[in-house]
Structure 1
């Protein structure tokens, strides 16, 4: 199979972006393929040249968004060994990734963590693929916390509860952050890095700065 041309890749990106906006505004079930095509300025047959179905568009948007998100965070913590430094970098990178593409982050939240669009719209096999990407991110957070607890710098009575608390702080920043507001993306990211350490830090050990 011949590789996709740049124009094909660009068109797919436009379709995914338009679909994401419509999914967020109107809901997945009420969004028609014709509406997605119209938003991009193409005909439905042209859209079907790039995607076989609306389900394919939803799956590809979720998969590529989450994969790019994970790549950014994993790159930010690569090579770090100190749990305190790693947890801060993890939370900062998570927040920065969310807020740097705010509209996409808001759409992604609405289709995954609300347990509505994603659970009801993707078949089991595809749903499990998306869940596996989520699990990879959660496992990364738990691994950082586990290492910190073993070294005595974190106090983590329950790995899952602590990991989810930190992830939620970072994740839901996309719902309240206002571009042009009193806080910049970088300020929110750094604050969330500090919040993550406050949640996990052992009261018996001084936290490394």
Structure 2
């Protein structure tokens, strides 16, 4: 069994994420983050140039995980299977990010914070305008990855005559909007479970594209 501990950078990101959620970005200092992990503030500068870079790293880390979960092993699927697989994964991820999702409830406050952290980090970046132009561009580029994959699948299906799609961009945005907003109404313990919600959304998406 390995007894290795997380490196300082990994620990700092985890602590910063928690403090940003609990206290807010503006009320969390680099000194507070350093004190939580038992190092001096100057030592933290070996890993991050600024608090903004920590926030960027957190968003980048979460987005990279999000994109990987949605797109893993989908490129060789048929256009229809690609759209359906990515949509189902997207929906399941969104449902698990609700503050009252089973994983958050099971893990208590820490789980709830983890479930909300990605959205909260993005809100901080967008509302407080704290990211540098380069970092903001990088995040926008990452955010568009899933859209481009949906659009490519829709264009491929339309070109082969499988889909009745007039404008792939519009439909890609519509599918993403459906998936993104499912957490606004679906509740744990409700009439439909996650898989059933995915089934219903899949039916809606098929009606949009076939």
Distance 1:67 1:146, change over 3 A: same
- The answer on whether the counterparts of 2:88 and 2:198 sit within 8 Å (CA) in structure 1 is yes
Aligned partners of 1:7 and 1:149: how far apart in 2? 50
Aligned residues: 192
Aligned partners of 2:55 and 2:175: how far apart in 1? 27
Q: 1:61 aligns with which of 58, 61, 86?
A: 58
Q: 1:109 aligns with which of 95, 119, 132?
A: 119
Distance 1:30 1:162, change over 3 A: farther
Aligned partners of 1:79 and 1:91: how far apart in 2? 16
Q: Which moved more, 1:151-160 or 1:43-52?
A: 43-52
Cα root mean square deviation, aligned: 3.2
2:95 is equivalent to residue 99 of structure 1:
yes
Q: Which runs of 5+ in 1 are unaligned?
A: 202-209
TM alignment of 1:176-187, pairs within 5 A: 176-187=185-196
Which of the pair has the greater relative contact order for Cα pairs under 8 Å at 6+ separation? 1
2:158 is equivalent to residue 161 of structure 1:
no
Please state whether the residue corresponding to 2:172 is helix, strand or coil. helix
Distance 1:26 1:142, change over 3 A: farther
Q: Which runs of 5+ in 2 are unaligned?
A: 99-111
- The answer on whether the counterparts of 1:63 and 1:130 sit within 8 Å (CA) in structure 2 is yes
TM alignment of 1:33-182, pairs within 5 A: 33-34=30-31, 36=33, 41-43=36-38, 45=40, 48=44, 50-81=47-78, 83-102=79-98, 103=112, 104=114, 106-112=116-122, 116-117=126-127, 120-182=129-191
Q: Could you say which residue in structure 1 is the equivalent of 2:104?
A: none
Aligned partners of 1:100 and 1:76: how far apart in 2? 21
TM-score using structure 2 length? 0.72
Shift, 1:166, TM fit: 0.6
